[in-house]
Amino acid sequence: MEVYGAVQGVGFRPFVFRLAEDLDLAGWVINDTRGVFVEVEGPRERLEAFRDRLVVEKPPRSEIHAVEAAWLDPAGFEGFEIRHSDPGGEKTVVVLPDTATCDDCLAEVFDPADRRYRYPFTNCTNCGPRFSIIEAVPYDRPNTTMRIFPMCAECRREYEDPRDRRFHAQPNACPVCGPHLSLVDADGRLLAERDDALEGAAAAVEQGRILALKGLGGFLLIVDARSQAAVVGLRERKARYEKPLALMAADLDGARHLGEVSAEAVALLTGPEAPIVLLPRHPDAGVAEAVAPGNVFLGVMLPYTPLHHLLLRRLGFPVVATSGNLSDEPICIDETEALARLGGIADIFLVHDRPIARHVDDSVVAVVAGAPRPIRRARGYAPLPVRLDGPAPTLLAVGAHLKNTVALSVGERVFLSQHIGDMETVQALGAFERVIADFLGMYEAGPVAVVHDLHPDYASTRWAEGAVAGEGRLGGLPLVAVQHHHAHLASCLAENGGGRALGVTWDGTGYGTDGTVWGGEFLAGDAAGVERVAHLRPFRLPGGDAAVVEPRRSALAALWEVMGERVWDLGDVAAVAGFAAAERAPLGRMLATGFRTPTTTSCGRLFDAVAALGGLPSRVSFEGQAAMLLEHAVDPGVNDAYPLPLVEGSGPMVLDWGPLLEAVLGDMRRGVPVETVAGRFHNALVEGILAVAAAAGEPRVALTGGCFQNRILTERAAARLEGAGFEVLLHRRVPANDGGISLGQIAVASARWGGGKEEIA
């Protein structure tokens, strides 16, 4: 917590010390250049009591004007101490994330008597932009993109008045001195300004047109969510055909019309992070089918800046609000770039003159097993650190290939970047390089090594190799390669206090130490090293990654593994019969010879195979779509499971899905509904996990990797394992998917630093 106001020289630190002792909380307090900084640790209720009592019981001569707070990882402090300012200390400054508009500011924006009435850039020390406007630390106005707006006399008075809520609010602004809106067409011609611009944008959305809105951390594309034509038009222009689109509702009531809002979801939607939350969809949500085709969830967020509040209240209906980009490229952040890249997508642009220092996408969170689980970590969360169980050398980790993030360790803290995206476009690589430069600059860090994925062909790996071979600040540094699934496990361990566990690391693909494609691994160990104790039965996958959008190819390949070329005789199996005669010969040759047919243990591809056999689409438009459809198909009343025997031999144990596939085929032939097949398949995976856990003998089991975004798999596996006496570790701070890999890379490289321990036995 940063406490602002008249808090120095008035006995504030001793007061904080006594209050912490009274509440039996650990941590420390220090005077800094802006007030008093406190890190305090303990149960959440007592921390909230601490915050409340801090304000109420403060020393008589002190005045508190604002408290900025963020939730960090537990550090394991012992006792509470008063620290003395150390100007030479390391730069572990916590740059705070962007925070959704607070109630006080919102009230002002909608109060006709207030001088900030309808002002879209209203903020205070309790809310507003931070990470997206900071160009350098310390966080002071000259170091933000707000430096080009000299404060008017009234704003400056607030800024300098210790009794004001805007005391030292760096982005403080008002209609007189601050940024303003403009409405421009796709050719960049000015159409309107200020309130007229907002009105023009709202009218365009009402008419079914596509609005590009410059928001907090980048552009959003906005259309009327009720209009199938508008949503389909957006999908076509954006080349995003089936991936679900996020919605923005005007308020909590609006969100409740769209989906089921649990207590956890309310806390997320209305909290300072205000992410997109996956809500179980209402059958009568009243949004176009094209918003999330075939999906039982809707991704919903609430307005998080006054600009979004003003627009949504004016419209009175939910809108699609999706990243302003083409397909999987990074989000656009400036007008020139937006006009160039979004000109073919958006009809009209609502922009403003406050520059965005860096891209920050909207975060996505699901509530799984009773707690928030991040799927995409960006606005509201980045760049808050995750704390390791001990100090790490300063390391830069460059992440994986898809859903890339990077990470930097400074002391015990690992600063995690915002979501960067799939490293498949020039734009993504550019964003990746900017984020790395940004992090190294912001934390004034001099890494001692660069950590990357073991995959030799990942763009991130190649970048790391180029960087250490070059003349730049990373030139000459050693490289550390970390196996993908080891990084998944280490990531989950790092945010659960370290130690060791059996890692059930299931995802679509990752480069294995034997050069094959892993993805159904059971790795036992810790950050320093693991043993591959078991994996799913391997099979040859013709075309490798080409199969991710063609689930029937995974079905064919898995069946080939079980029955060889007799697979072509399965004329009654649609997924097989659908292959044209001309496709069969080359596929058969690939499967027989292994040419361009990597061997894989991927759980993601096994999901695809079962989905295709179950009659779900044989082609999809994004990785994991078939698995998602299979998850959503599950009949919750199905309690039995397909056979998935655990076979022990000389090497790692193997979960053999051969009998499972035979059983799926039998069920399909008997006309058993896909809902039942999906249920039995999920249950089989759960029993398989339990069998390996029982054989491995590790008391703790970590569930990690992209497959554990699957709510049913995660909740059932966790419940079954806990019922059998295991401690289950799940992700809470970073995604289970590849967005969490950079944290794991740091943990592994740190544990191995100087030790030279062999990574995977």
**List of residues contacting Zn ion (CB under 5 A):** 102, 105, 124, 126-127, 152, 155, 174, 176-177, 507, 510, 738
Any bridge partners for residue 301, and if so which? 248
131 near 358, Cβ under 8 Å?
A: yes
Nearest approach, Cβ of residue 737 and Zn ion (Å): 7
- Integer Cα distance of 678 and 683 in angstroms: 9
Instruction: For Zn ion, give the closer residue by CB, 289 or 514.
Output: 514
Q: Which residue has the tokens 């944008």?
A: 201
Nearest approach, Cβ of residue 587 and Zn ion (Å): 26
- Integer Cα distance of 595 and 501 in angstroms: 37
Instruction: For Zn ion, give the closer residue by CB, 146 or 653.
Output: 146
First to last CA, the chain: 44
- Integer Cα distance of 492 and 498 in angstroms: 8
* Per-residue DSSP letter, 91: -
Nearest approach, Cβ of residue 101 and Zn ion (Å): 6
Instruction: For Zn ion, give the closer residue by CB, 163 or 566.
Output: 163
Nearest to 129 by CA among 341, 357, 387: 357
- Integer Cα distance of 132 and 146 in angstroms: 11
Instruction: For Zn ion, give the closer residue by CB, 599 or 742.
Output: 742
Nearest approach, Cβ of residue 164 and Zn ion (Å): 12
Nearest approach, Cβ of residue 66 and Zn ion (Å): 9
What three-state secondary structure class fits 189?
coil
Instruction: For Zn ion, give the closer residue by CB, 438 or 608.
Output: 608
33 near 138, Cβ under 8 Å?
A: yes
- Please report which helix (H) or strand (E) contains residue 589, including its range: helix 581-593
Dihedral of the CA atoms 95, 98, 101, 105 (nearest 10)? 40
Nearest approach, Cβ of residue 160 and Zn ion (Å): 13
Instruction: For Zn ion, give the closer residue by CB, 127 or 420.
Output: 127
Nearest approach, Cβ of residue 310 and Zn ion (Å): 15
E-only strand ranges, 537-611: 539-540, 599-600
Nearest approach, Cβ of residue 210 and Zn ion (Å): 31
Q: Which residue has the tokens 């703790």?
A: 700
Nearest to 238 by CA among 376, 334, 341, 317: 341
Instruction: For Zn ion, give the closer residue by CB, 328 or 738.
Output: 738
Nearest approach, Cβ of residue 52 and Zn ion (Å): 19
- Please report which helix (H) or strand (E) contains residue 29, including its range: strand 26-32
Amino acid at the residue 194: R
Any bridge partners for residue 352, and if so which? 181
- Integer Cα distance of 133 and 119 in angstroms: 18
Any bridge partners for residue 192, and if so which? 183
352 near 149, Cβ under 8 Å?
A: no
Instruction: For Zn ion, give the closer residue by CB, 124 or 213.
Output: 124
Instruction: For Zn ion, give the closer residue by CB, 126 or 322.
Output: 126
Tokens linked to 387: 């704390």
- Integer Cα distance of 28 and 283 in angstroms: 50
Nearest approach, Cβ of residue 733 and Zn ion (Å): 17
Nearest approach, Cβ of residue 602 and Zn ion (Å): 10
The total of other beta-carbon atoms located within 10 Å of residue 510's CB is: 28
* Burial (Cβ within 10 Å: 0-12, 13-18, ≥19) of residue 39: middle
Instruction: For Zn ion, give the closer residue by CB, 299 or 739.
Output: 739
What string of DSSP letters covers 366-401?
EEETTEEEEEE--TTTTT-EEEEEEEE--EEE---S
Query: 382's torsion region: left (phi>0), alpha (psi -120 to 50) or beta?
Result: beta
Instruction: For Zn ion, give the closer residue by CB, 34 or 552.
Output: 34
Q: Which residue has the tokens 């940004």?
A: 438
| Residue 176 neighbours by CB under 8 Å, 6+ apart | 152, 154, 155
Nearest approach, Cβ of residue 102 and Zn ion (Å): 3
Instruction: For Zn ion, give the closer residue by CB, 69 or 203.
Output: 69
Q: Which residue has the tokens 């890692």?
A: 503
Instruction: For Zn ion, give the closer residue by CB, 510 or 551.
Output: 510
Instruction: For Zn ion, give the closer residue by CB, 174 or 436.
Output: 174
> Is the alpha carbon torsion for 710, 715, 720, 724 positive or negative?
positive
646 near 695, Cβ under 8 Å?
A: yes
Nearest approach, Cβ of residue 513 and Zn ion (Å): 15
Nearest approach, Cβ of residue 120 and Zn ion (Å): 13
